[in-house]
Structure 1
Amino acid sequence: MTNAKTARIAELNDMLRTTFLTGKVLLTEGIRDLPDTLQSSVIEAVQTFQAFTPDNDPHGEHDFGALTVEGHKVFWKIDYYAPDMLHGSDDPADPKQTRRVLTIMLAEEY
């Protein structure tokens, strides 16, 4: 994959993660079971996450993160689907060909 394509994927992923406006956002049962104030803290932590390194983002796509919020280990990940939502996207850099899904979960649910 080209560097320009990777940068575009990261940009699109960051847009979804920071705004929740350009795809679907799913909260797992474990996250939904947390108190509302803690859920809000988790969401804010995901939206403001910037700790990308070669170790946790080896492909440079900004498609996964791990963090701890008030003692809870939280993972978030972004998956790429074709517009029919039945298959993987052929080109995650093209928003016309891709539907993004951000899932936020407790690490123990992974």
Structure 2
Amino acid sequence: MKNSDSTEEQKVNKSNDATEGQLKIRALNDELRVNGRGGQILLTLGVDGLGHDRKRHVMDAVRSYNSFSEDNDPYGEHDFGEVEIDTNSVMFKIDYYDLSGRFRSPNPADPASTMRIMTIMLSNDY
């Protein structure tokens, strides 16, 4: 007998339960993460100090990241992830600001009122 609460089914159900706003936020976040469009990408000093080749590996890993789960992406927005590069644990986090950059965005699903910033950091930078 198959367990109806399997992890895969929960992921599918969670995706199916996403609101239109969540789906829009996810698409905008993926556009920034994968294509570098629709926001700014900031590297911490730790990541910047890795050297050209390792930074390229970090960026490639962040772009291709697809291990989103309920544990690391509870709202289904694809706004956080963690990858291993050599011996370094690297995290990315996407935050939503108003256009002044001083306050939270009033509507992260609206690119006209939201400035997205993806910070890429070594886990020990956090």
Deviations 1:54-110 (A, max 9, x none): 111001010000110111100000000001111110100000010100000000011
Match of 1:49 in 2: 65
Equivalent of residue 20 in structure 1, options 36, 42, 51:
36
- Unmatched 5+ stretches in structure 1: none
Tell me the TM-score normalized by structure 2.
0.84
Is the helix fraction higher in 1 or 2? 2
Instruction: Give the count of matched residue pairs.
Output: 109
Answer with 1 or 2: which has the greater Rg: 2
**2:70 aligned with 1:61:** no
Distance (Å, rounded) in 2 between the aligned partners of 1:21 and 1:95: 11
Runs of 4 or more, structure 1, over 4 Å off, are none
Tell me the TM-score normalized by structure 1.
0.96
Aligned 1:64-103 pairs, distance under 5 A: 64-103=80-119
CA RMSD of aligned residues (A): 0.9
Distance (Å, rounded) in 1 between the aligned partners of 2:51 and 2:105: 35
- Unmatched 5+ stretches in structure 2: 1-17
Percentage of matched positions with identical amino acids? 40
**2:47 aligned with 1:31:** yes
Equivalent AA in structure 1 for residue 108 of structure 2? P
